[in-house]
């Protein structure tokens, strides 16, 4: 039985995944859940069909067609391959999106080398819905790759670290915020504010990283940064970025010594 798997938040930003039919999306999530610790799985269409569609609505022939489409043309969600007459599937870059403690080596044969120029469903792919080639797509007039490079270079300069501009997970976070309308100066404002706030604290400085700074709390961080408010006020409760008053709600653990503070106005902040 497969171990617990994670679904990367970036899956909801994937044009490929969002183009799947409801049946295709259900099948894709099933495939992620059933892969071994190296992202491989042996395909058994009768079993797959009965598990994913126990009440009908999709037969084995349709499942084969949907799975084939996932690896073809502009979809490229998986890589299909055959070894000694048996059919297999692999989620490439699996280890980038699945954090597995003490992984077990796969007992399944590895896929053959990829031919990047091929349009075969067995040759090119995307993992967990994160487009590998879509980073260059232009949004708001600026290619993702340019914005990613500028943001990461600025973060490295401010923190003295060496985060890679080629990290796909980093690109997903930054491009997601760019789609929300945030620009380079907004990223710099968050970086500056958090370096000033967290930098002197050895424990909190560990969170000066792309996945924390540019994640789903980015707008809260930016609101505080632009207002010039300090996060922590009387009684240890931070200022609400929405109304500017001290938060009063109960705090729940966010991990890493951080907490989620809520405010009657509906705002919230992590500190």
Q: What is the pLDDT of residues 244-267, one digit of tens each?
A: 777 766 555 444 455 667 777 777
Does one domain contain both 20 and 126? yes
Within 10 Å of residue 180's Cβ, how many Cβ atoms? 10
The confidence band for 235, taking pLDDT boundaries of 50, 70 and 90, is low
CB 125 within 8 A of CB 115: no
Does one domain contain both 34 and 74? yes
Does one domain contain both 196 and 258? no
CB 41 within 8 A of CB 89: yes
Which region among 129-133, 222-226, 262-266 has the lowest average model confidence (pLDDT)?
A: 129-133
The confidence band for 102, taking pLDDT boundaries of 50, 70 and 90, is confident
What end-to-end distance do the CA atoms of the chain give, in Å?
Answer: 39
Q: What whole-number distance in Å separates Cα of residue 65 and Cα of residue 59?
A: 10
pLDDT digits (tens, 9 = 90+) for 84-100: 889 999 887 677 778 88
Count the domains in the chain.
3
Q: Look at the alpha carbons of 10, 14, 19, 20 in this order and tell me if their dihedral is positive or negative.
A: negative
Choosing from 81, 99, 132, the residue where a domain stops is 132
Does one domain contain both 179 and 238? no
The residue to which tokens 């949907």 are assigned: 66
| Most confident stretch, 16-20, 120-124, 227-231 | 16-20
Of residues 201 and 267, which shows the higher confidence score? 201
Which region among 12-21, 61-70, 72-81, 85-94 has the lowest average model confidence (pLDDT)?
A: 72-81
Contacts of 111 (CB under 8 A, 6+ apart): 40, 79, 81, 88, 90
Question: Which one-letter DSSP state was computed for residue 110?
Answer: P
Does one domain contain both 147 and 60? no
Domain range for residue 215? 133-228
Strands 86-90 and 79-83: antiparallel
Residue 214: is its pLDDT beyond 90?
Answer: yes
Does one domain contain both 101 and 147? no
Does one domain contain both 113 and 142? no
Does one domain contain both 49 and 117? yes
Residue 118: is its pLDDT beyond 50?
Answer: no
Does one domain contain both 109 and 211? no
Choosing from 72, 101, 132, the residue where a domain stops is 132
Does one domain contain both 172 and 234? no
Q: What whole-number distance in Å separates Cα of residue 116 and Cα of residue 75?
A: 14
Within 10 Å of residue 82's Cβ, how many Cβ atoms? 13
Does one domain contain both 126 and 160? no
Give the percent of the chain with pLDDT over 70. Answer: 73
Of residues 166 and 143, which shows the higher confidence score? 166
């Amino acid at each position: 039985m497969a171990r617990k798997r994670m679904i990367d938040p970036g899956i909801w930003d994937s044009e490929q995944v969002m183009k799947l039919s409801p049946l295709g999306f259900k099948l894709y999530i099933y495939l992620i859940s059933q892969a071994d610790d190296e992202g491989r799985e042996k395909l058994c269409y009768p079993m797959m069909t009965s598990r994913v569609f126990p009440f009908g609505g999709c037969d084995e022939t349709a499942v084969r067609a949907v799975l084939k489409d996932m690896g073809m043309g502009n979809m490229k969600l998986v890589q299909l391959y055959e070894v000694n007459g048996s059919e297999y599937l692999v989620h490439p870059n699996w280890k980038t999106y699945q954090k597995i403690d003490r992984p077990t080596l796969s007992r399944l044969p590895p896929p053959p080398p990829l031919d990047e120029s091929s349009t075969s469903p067995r040759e090119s792919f995307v993992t967990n819905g994160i487009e590998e080639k879509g980073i260059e797509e232009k949004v708001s007039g600026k290619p993702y790759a340019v914005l990613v490079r500028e943001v990461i270079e600025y973060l490295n300069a401010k923190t003295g670290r060496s985060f890679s501009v080629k990290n796909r997970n980093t690109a997903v976070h930054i491009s997601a915020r760019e789609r929300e309308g945030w620009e380079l100066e907004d990223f710099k404002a968050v970086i500056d504010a958090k370096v000033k706030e967290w930098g002197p604290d050895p424990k909190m400085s560990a969170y000066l990283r792309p996945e924390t700074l540019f994640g789903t709390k980015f707008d809260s961080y930016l609101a505080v940064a632009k207002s010039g408010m300090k996060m922590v006020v009387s009684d240890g409760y931070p200022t609400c970025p929405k109304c500017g008053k001290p938060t009063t709600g109960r705090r729940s653990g966010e991990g890493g010594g951080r907490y989620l503070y809520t405010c009657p106005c509906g705002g919230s902040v992590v500190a």
